[in-house]
Amino acid sequence: MTNNTQNSNQTQANQSWGGRFSEPTDEFVKIFGASVFFDKILAPYDIQGSIAHATMLQEVGLLTEDEKNQIIKGLEQILAEINADEFEWSVALEDVHMNIESRLTKLIGNAGKKLHTGRSRNDQVATDIRLYLRDQVDDILAEINRLQIALLDLAEQEASTILPGFTHLQAAQPISFGHHMMAYFEMLSRDAERLVDTRKRMNSMPLGSAALAGTTYPINRERTAQLLGFERICLNSLDGVSDRDFAIEFLSAASIIMMHLSRFSEELILWSSAQFHFIELPDSFCTGSSIMPQKKNPDVPELVRGKTGRVYGNLTSMLTIMKSQPLAYNKDNQEDKEPLFDTVDTLKACLRVFADMVPTIEAQRDTMYNSCKKGYTTATDLADYLVNKGLAFRDAHEVVGKSVSYGIEHQKDLAELSLEELQLFDDRIENDVFDILSLEGSLCARDHLGATSPNQVKKAIKAARKKLI
Ligand code: ARG
């Protein structure tokens, strides 16, 4: 419970709905049922929604021009009070909606009591969360874009840097470090697409669904939607107040982004270890150990990897919150906010720290190169070479297997074997074999769309830059 949320000493039942109650709410139940501790961050969206609603109410004749103006002025003052941290939040008023409405009525009197005409907190909160999330998605997309640009810059700088590509975490074939960075670029492109897609469905307005069945007033939903920038209107009032699919979709998209960042984190953690030492992370993104003076711990990627679990947990929470709810609104839905807000904050922070950290990654080119030399990573190239000389691929595979085994026994990489040694396994091998056994030769030979040659990596970066803008 936050400090600036003050416990009201109100002993009566809540003013907004207390008409049929003869006993006040239990003191702890007030706290237990309140959402103001966390939903107050919706305040700017609640006010935006209320201003649009009041504007529409006036246009259809349900408010006078003067009442509408008073409401808007009052709401603007409330927003200023909230922004200046001067607003007195009351737990007895349960949530952000009733806190604002109560303050409005205090400020402007009777006109304030008319604002809730033709709406319910059920459609109000459903609208607020969509407005909030739509804004957040835009911020998140901007952060993804920033991270993608950082990846492109690093990839460009390291397009010709060779490191072993792994399968099963065993050195497999030489690849370009730039190509490896571009793999994350691709993942983030899909992540951005998913968010854009989710945003479309989020951009539908529940307001006008009222409590669950719509309202008896002659409201103009199209107009309110237009004022709030919604593309569409929710077409069924029961669904309008109870649908949280958009939040679940967002949490799914967020979980996938975190999964990608977590895989990247895992690699950065491995690569920055003394055993790999493929990269160096700057001191400003690492911490030391209080007991082991030699340590430089990759806290940032470790935290991102850890926070992935938290975001997955939020997705599971939301799916579970929704799974047994009969139509339409139930108080269970109040539990939608914390997982959602926490995911937004976590995701934004992780993307931000990654976008800041990626430009600081220093590729340790020599270590990567030497590591690649150790793992017989050009064995496939030798097999391909033999196929070009007329062998069937399976036979070539066998020949190369024997050469590798010979190399292991004599502690030599394939490129270190002499021509005579190589010819022990197949006499079709000639001097030109050394062109393809070199790491550079192997890398440059994979020169088609989507492959790892520096030439292709540079082309991919160029195309990606065009796509981003
Ligand atoms: N604080 C509530 C929520 O977060 C607002 C809607 C309450 N509606 C109601 N009928 N109790 O969902």
- The pTM of the full predicted model, rounded to 2 decimals, is 0.94
105 lines ligand 1 (CB under 6 A): no
Distance CA 179, CA 185 (A): 10
How confident is the model over 220-276, as pLDDT tens digits? 999 999 999 999 999 999 999 999 999 999 999 999 999 999 999 999 999 999 999
Q: Is 223 among the domain residues?
A: no
At 33-83, the pLDDT tens digits run: 999 999 999 999 999 999 999 999 999 999 999 999 999 999 999 999 999
Residue that finishes a domain, picked among 349, 368, 387: 368
Q: Which residues contact 92 (CB under 8 A, 6 or more apart)?
A: 7, 8, 10, 14, 25, 30
Residues 264 and 388 in one domain: no
What is d(CA 271, CA 193) in angstroms, rounded to the nearest whole number? 29
- pLDDT surpassing 70 at residue 10: no
**Helix, coil or strand: residue 6:** strand
- Please spell the DSSP secondary structure of 294-356, one letter per residue: T--B-HHHHHHHHHHHHHHHHHHHHHHHHHTPPSS--GGGGGGHHHHHHHHHHHHHHHHHHHH
Distance CA 80, CA 291 (A): 49
DSSP character at residue 85: T
Active-site residue numbers?
A: 168, 289
Does residue 446 share a domain with residue 318? no
Map tokens 């008319």 to a residue: 114
Q: For residue 223, what pLDDT is reported?
A: 98
Same domain? 143 vs 284: yes
| Dist. CA 207 → ligand 1 center (Å) | 14
- Are 440 and 296 in the same domain? no
In this structure, is residue 274 part of a structural domain? Answer: yes
- Clarify whether residues 140 and 212 are in a common domain: yes
Is residue 19 a part of any domain in this protein?
A: no
Kindly tell me if the per-residue pLDDT of 370 is higher than 60: yes
**End position of a domain, from candidates 117, 146, 164:** 117
Q: Specify the pLDDT at position 15.
A: 64
- CATH code at position 359: 1.20.200.10
- The pairing of beta strand 162-167 with beta strand 170-176: antiparallel
User: Does residue 9 sit within a domain?
Assistant: no
Which residue has the least CA distance to atom 12 on ligand 1? 334
**Domain residue limits at 68:** 24-117
Whether residues 76 and 140 share a domain: the answer is: no
For the chain, the residue count is: 469
How many domains does the chain contain in total?
Answer: 3
For residue 449, the domain's CATH number is 1.10.40.30
Residues 345 and 411 in one domain: no
Q: Does 141 reside within a domain? A: yes
Instruction: Assess whether the C-beta atom of 242 lies below 6 angstroms from ligand 1.
Output: no
